């Protein structure tokens, strides 16, 4: 991977857009579904997984690292999805005495995330 100034700008701009989108989706989920479970983080990780599967096929990533691929995959989706929030929220659920919810969050994120990436991949024409 040959990193140049354009890529730094693409990642920074995409990360900012993805982070703002994550905040919007997380707040919307909290409003609609409540704050007892980290629905927003689960939703952004599932949506992001599906999108990365689709974009990986369409942009031939990582074989073709173009500024567009770096902007969308590394920047926007990197800023949109969040493993660190997922990890912290799962531990918080456990510490608050909700071990079952913590386990459910871990299983749902892993299983649905991988499934969503696969669905996105196949929707975009991958795996033929």
N-term to C-term CA, the chain: 26
pLDDT above 90: residue 1: no
Contact criterion met (CB below 8 Å) for 75 and 56:
no
pLDDT band of 69, cuts 50, 70, 90:
confident
Q: Taking 90 as the threshold, does the pLDDT of residue 28 lie above it?
A: yes
Q: What are the structure tokens assigned to 59, written together?
A: 């942009």
For helices 99-123 and 83-95, angle between their N-to-C axes, nearest 10 degrees: 160
34: left (phi over 0), alpha (psi -120 to 50) or beta: left
pLDDT tens for each residue of 6-27: 889 999 999 999 999 999 999 9
Q: Is a pLDDT exceeding 80 seen at residue 63?
A: no
- Cα–Cα distances (Å) from 126 to 48, 59, 89, 119, in that order, read 17, 11, 33, 10
């Amino acid at each position: 991977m040959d990193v140049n100034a354009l890529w730094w700008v693409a990642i920074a701009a995409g990360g900012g857009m993805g982070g703002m989108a994550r905040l919007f989706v997380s707040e919307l989920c909290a409003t609609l579904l409540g704050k007892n479970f980290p629905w927003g983080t689960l939703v952004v990780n599932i949506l992001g997984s599906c999108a990365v599967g689709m974009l990986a096929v369409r942009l031939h990533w990582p074989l073709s690292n173009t500024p567009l691929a770096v902007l969308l995959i590394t920047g926007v989706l990197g800023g949109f999805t969040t493993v660190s929030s997922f990890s912290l929220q799962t531990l918080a659920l456990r510490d608050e005495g909700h071990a079952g919810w913590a386990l459910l969050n871990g299983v749902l994120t892993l299983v649905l995330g991988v499934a969503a990436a696969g669905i996105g991949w196949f929707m975009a024409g991958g795996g033929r």
